[in-house]
Amino acid sequence: MGHALAAVYLVWLLNLYNFMDGIDGIASVEALCVCLGRSAQLADRACGVGTSAVAAGDGGGWLHYWNFPPARIFMGDAGSGFLGIALGLLSLQAAWVEPQLQWNWLILLSVFVVDATWTLGRRLLRGDKVYEAHRSHAYQYASRLLGCHLPVTLVVGAIDLFWLLPVALWVGLGSLDGFTGLLLAYVPLVLLAIRFRAGQQEVATAG
């Protein structure tokens, strides 16, 4: 059962990372912040700290040179899928060593998990063809509302570093149980997803 759940988890992370790679820099910023956060948390453990640091360096280098808004080159399905799988494998490796560490990964990845899952859930309930391309994620609505990608990408990084990382550290120190930490991370993000109309049907415009 555990292996089956791990396979589903990896497939979902691969796909949600692909779904969320829709504006300049957002996937790189997420990978950078998540891996830096994990490296900081695992500094006194041998649970993938070196690999997390390398992944953070890769994400940061790509972001700085090619992908920072306005992007010169886009990551594409191969790049975003690789990041999703890599982060999933790192989280499973950490959970194999210390099962409670899985909570930290789920907290740090909250922005992508909540937006992608909420959007897909609403589209499934509405009967949309979920395999068809769309632009109904919260981050996509937000970028259209603001007229550019940069503010949304920066806000995602700020949420990762100033909200989700402290919650993950709190759980990692054992001062907060994992499920409560997950609720603290997810509930505000669900409210943001609702505020920015995640999964709401797009209105066609003339021209």
The mean pLDDT of 26-52, rounded to a whole number, is: 68
Higher pLDDT, 56 or 6: 6
Tens digits of per-residue pLDDT, 146-169? 999 999 999 999 999 999 999 998
- pLDDT score at 173: 83
**Domain-by-domain residue ranges, the chain?**
2-195
pLDDT digits (tens, 9 = 90+) for 76-86: 788 888 888 88
Other residues' Cβ atoms within 10 Å of the Cβ of residue 46: 8
For range 64-73, the mean pLDDT: 69
Chain centre to alpha carbon of residue 172: 19
Angstrom distance (rounded) from CA 184 to CA 191: 12
pLDDT value at 66 more than 90: no
Instruction: Please report which confidence band the pLDDT of residue 50 belongs to, taking 50, 70 and 90 as the band edges.
Output: very low
User: Is 18 assigned to a binding site?
Assistant: yes
Taking residues 179-198, report their average pLDDT.
Answer: 96
Higher pLDDT, 198 or 100: 198
**Confidence band (pLDDT; 50, 70, 90) for 48?**
very low
Question: How high is the pLDDT of residue 56?
Answer: 44
Strands (E), 47-198: none
The reply to whether 58 sits in an annotated binding site is: no
Q: Is residue 49 very low, low, confident or very high in pLDDT (cuts 50, 70, 90)? A: very low
Closest CA to 172 of 112, 108, 111: 108
Neighbours of 6 (CB within 10 A): 16
pLDDT value for 132:
84
Q: What is the mean pLDDT of the chain?
A: 83
Q: Output the pLDDT for position 53.
A: 46
So what's the pLDDT on residue 62?
Answer: 47
Residue range 64-90: mean pLDDT, rounded: 78
Percent of the chain with pLDDT over 90: 48
pTM across the whole model: 0.86
What is the rounded distance in angstroms from the CA atom of residue 91 to the CA atom of residue 107?
11
